[in-house]
Structure 1
Amino acid sequence: MGNQIKGNVMLLLTAMIWGGGFVAQSAGMAYIGPFTFCATRYLLAMLALVPVIFMFSVQARQVSADGLWNRFAPDWVTMRGGLYCGLILGVADVLQQVGICYTTAGKAGFITALYIIMVPLMGRVIGQRIPKILVFCVLLAIVGFYFLCVQETFTIAYGDFLILCCAVFFSLHILVIDHFMKKKADGLKLSWMQFAVAFVVVGLLTVSFEEPRVESLWSARYPLLFAGVISSGLAYTLQIVGQKYTTPTLATLLMSLEAVFAVLAGWLILGEVMSQRELWGCTLVFIAVLLAQLPLPALKR
């Protein structure tokens, strides 16, 4: 029981960090462009994960006597997984980062949380069974998304649409990770590889469309450090360790609370205030997310 409580606390901290990450992403836009922010975030995450790999990676411990490089180098399955995950993650993060420029951190957190419903829907496309209650969750989330994002003129704001697209790519990201983890990829090394691939892809966009300056990067140092080291490096480690002590359903449920923490952080730190209509939308989306994760066998038959 002690280990389960420890795991739950770790996953709850992960959700809190990821929720606060939306604030860091929003604050960073005051100093640098979205491509520069993402590329720098990936670089910091890569550096932060190096010691984590040597301490926690299963593969690194298995070849502890073969030198530092052999302990760090990924196998072929992990390398392939990192390539695919990095490409998808790069697209998802860029869409999210650009979208945050046009919407609030709180709304971005709740719209991104829709990936938890999209994952089983995409799984159904590739032949996986879909619980009947998920149909209700999807309808509830659509209603919530309407109240949250659709304006009275029946148009969706540009930033909200980009965040919704980002949720689709995050859903793909989860399915690809699941595919390669079943093939025995090393989770920590796969994470480092995906950050490296995403850094290259977004780095090319940065040098093509933006002109990063040292002064601007220094001004954005706190949001960058939070997003790169804490939100990526530390939170990922907490997720890996925490999931060892709890069930996948409970783990996903706890991590989905990042949407709530995103709204709270946006309110406390950035002073963002949602209208009553938007709060109703957040409530419906969050209920849909919770129902999609709760083990309700009586409703799923």
Structure 2
Amino acid sequence: MALSDLSTRNFSRLTLDTSSALVWKFALLVCALIWGGSFVVIKDAISYISAAWLMTLRFVFAVGIVAIIFRKNLKEHLDATHIKYGVLLGVLNGLGYLFQNGALAYTTAGKAAFIASIYCAMIPFVNWLIAKKKPHGSSIFAAFLCVAGIGLISLGTDFSFSFGLGEQMTLLSAIIFAFDFVLIAELSHKYDIITLTVVQLGVSALPCLAYALCFETVPNFAVLPTNAWVA
């Protein structure tokens, strides 16, 4: 499939040619594996470049690529409304990643990945707040398990409780992502999701860049090792 063909498709209503949902579930599994593995990669990368600069680069490269691929889609749908909601999603997304990856300087990749994944249990409750859809009993039970899990990983060998800056930043990022994803789900039914995503990616770089310029030194990009660029 040519990129020009790809860019003209309406991915807001994307369907597969197969009746099986296993393909989608497998795709989600692959995404989860990549997302989980990224904590280890980024934990190593921030030894060479700050999380803020790293996120800025990631979003700049990402928006450049998707804007080229979906340029025809943008030409058709980009308007003031898509920009308005894309900016909202982008600010949330940028802050979420800034806190999540910045936290890796203060906690382990394993703890960060576990706490960050708690946004999944938060989503039904945020959805209740925004869309007025009451969560099921299973969601309440899942939230209880998540709280118990945080308690377990926060206990030291002497049963002392420790929930430091890194863990707090990661939890804050999970809350932000829960709101971000609920808003994406709501907006995707009304607006073109690809256009919203492109705007979101572009705006996501701004909170990271602002923090980097104010509080971080500009890295020497020419001497960054390969693993930093891979992250």
What displacement does 1:75 show? Answer: 2.7
Partner of 2:97: 93
What displacement does 1:214 show? Answer: 2.8
Could you say which structure has the greater relative contact order, defined with CA pairs below 8 angstroms and 6 or more residues apart? 1
Partner of 2:21: 4
Q: Give 1:105's match in structure 2, choosing from 98, 102, 109.
A: 109
Q: Give 2:127's match in structure 1, choosing from 118, 123, 130.
A: 123
Call closer, same or farther: CA 1:110–1:196 in 2, change over 3 Å: same
Share of identical aligned residues, percent? 22
Call closer, same or farther: CA 1:206–1:111 in 2, change over 3 Å: same
* Equivalent pair of 1:78/1:180 in contact (CA under 8 Å): no
| Unmatched segments (≥5 aa) in structure 1 | 61-68, 227-301
Letter in 2 for 1:124: W
What displacement does 1:218 show? Answer: 4.4
Partner of 1:169: 176
Q: Give 1:192's match in structure 2, choosing from 190, 198, 207.
A: 198
CA RMSD, Structure 1 to Structure 2 (Å): 2.2
What CA distance in whole angstroms lies between the structure 1 residues aligned with 2:141 and 2:25? 28
Letter in 2 for 1:39: T
- TM (norm. structure 1) is 0.64
1:41 aligns with 2:58: yes
Secondary structure of the residue that 1:212 maps to in structure 2?
A: coil
Call closer, same or farther: CA 1:6–1:136 in 2, change over 3 Å: closer
What CA distance in whole angstroms lies between the structure 2 residues aligned with 1:153 and 1:80? 46
Q: Give 1:144's match in structure 2, choosing from 140, 149, 154.
A: 149
- TM (norm. structure 2) is 0.82
Q: Give 1:203's match in structure 2, choosing from 186, 197, 209.
A: 209
* Equivalent pair of 2:52/2:98 in contact (CA under 8 Å): yes
What displacement does 1:111 show? Answer: 0.8
Call closer, same or farther: CA 1:70–1:124 in 2, change over 3 Å: closer
Partner of 2:38: 21
Partner of 1:214: 220
* Equivalent pair of 2:154/2:161 in contact (CA under 8 Å): no
What displacement does 1:220 show? Answer: 4.6
What CA distance in whole angstroms lies between the structure 2 residues aligned with 1:138 and 1:110? 13
Which segment drifts farther, 86-95 or 8-17?
A: 8-17
What CA distance in whole angstroms lies between the structure 1 residues aligned with 2:146 and 2:89? 26
What CA distance in whole angstroms lies between the structure 1 residues aligned with 2:88 and 2:226? 29
